Amino acid sequence: MKVIQANSKQFFQFDHLAKVGVLHFTSTRHGWGRDGYSRFTGDQADEYASFRHELARSLQIAAEQFVFPRQVHGDQVMVVDGPIQSADVPDTDALITNQPGICICVQTADCVPILLFDPVQRVVAAVHAGWRGTVNKIVAKTIHAMQRNFDSQPEDILAGIGPSIHLHAYEVGEEVMVAVRESFPDHRGLLKPADNAHKAYFDLWEANRIVMINSGVLAQNIEVMGFCSYSHEPLFYSYRREGVKTGRMVSGIMLK
């Protein structure tokens, strides 16, 4: 993991993605203007435009190069094959592109951001995986879309799992437990008993890692950043800790 400081902001990068020279990042809560609670999509441009411009200045790119999905905790994957005229892509939780100069992003505040890079076919993807996206295996659907559209081979893909809520802080109820059991044959390794018999702790990192391995990604090509958004309050926003009005981290990737 690499730490980058730019314009009073702090970003993290994955070691293996940094080594191959692809531009990518995950933001922290440090250094944002206005109320300090960064957000990158919204119904009105004045909700997010200044944060996009701050991010662009820090990355030394133009704000118009960003493409954000309007995330709905679904499993819709969209291929971005050129500049987007609208502010963002509706009803989508994962973006893929092979176009240089387009920075595809997802935002999170406990959910799992996953960045993918195929260095052979030169394809990148950004994935937002909450518990619904995880049990619906959105990252597998993203990898399959990379195969279908760009002839990516899973064994070539480099993957990074960014800051998100971890097992020890992610207590879930019956709805999530049932969904995990139905989606994962090896669910016993993903659900750990809680003090409340009707609840359990869900390991989102390991679940998404398993999904990628089952999709053909090599285990050694998956890097887990290892930060819990809930526990590391000085660094990250957390929906579970602070509520719906908290800010959002942004994770993005772009072909140069």
Angle, CA of 76, 40 and 28, to the nearest 5°: 105
* pLDDT tens by residue, 126-170: 999 999 999 999 999 999 999 999 999 999 999 999 999 999 999
pLDDT category at 86 given cuts 50, 70, 90 is: confident
6 contacts 239 by C-beta, under 8 angstroms: no
Buried b (16+ CB within 10 A) or exposed e, 93-114: bbbbbbbeebbbbbbbbbbbbb
- Name the 3-class secondary structure at 43: coil
Whether pLDDT at 101 is above 80: yes
| Mean per-residue pLDDT over the chain, rounded | 96
Q: For residue 173, how many other CB atoms are within 10 A of its CB?
A: 12
CATH among 2.102.10.10, 3.30.470.10, 3.60.140.10, 3.40.50.1820 for 2-165+221-254: 3.60.140.10
User: pLDDT per residue over 187-216, tens digit each?
Assistant: 989 999 999 889 999 999 999 999 999 999
CA distance 14 to 160: 6
pLDDT single digits (tens) 32-65 = 999 999 999 999 999 999 999 999 999 999 999 9
Q: In the chain, what percentage of residues exceed pLDDT 90? A: 94
The confidence score (pLDDT) of residue 197 equals 87
Structural Rg of the chain based on CA atoms: 17
Helix (H, G, I), strand (E, B) or coil at 135: helix
**Per-residue three-class SS string for 167-196:** HHHCEECHHHHHHHHHHCCCHHHCEEECCC
Measured CA to CA, the distance from residue 49 to residue 227 in angstroms comes to: 27
CB 11 within 8 A of CB 24: no
pLDDT at position 82: 82
pLDDT score for 182: 97
Q: pLDDT at position 226, please?
A: 97
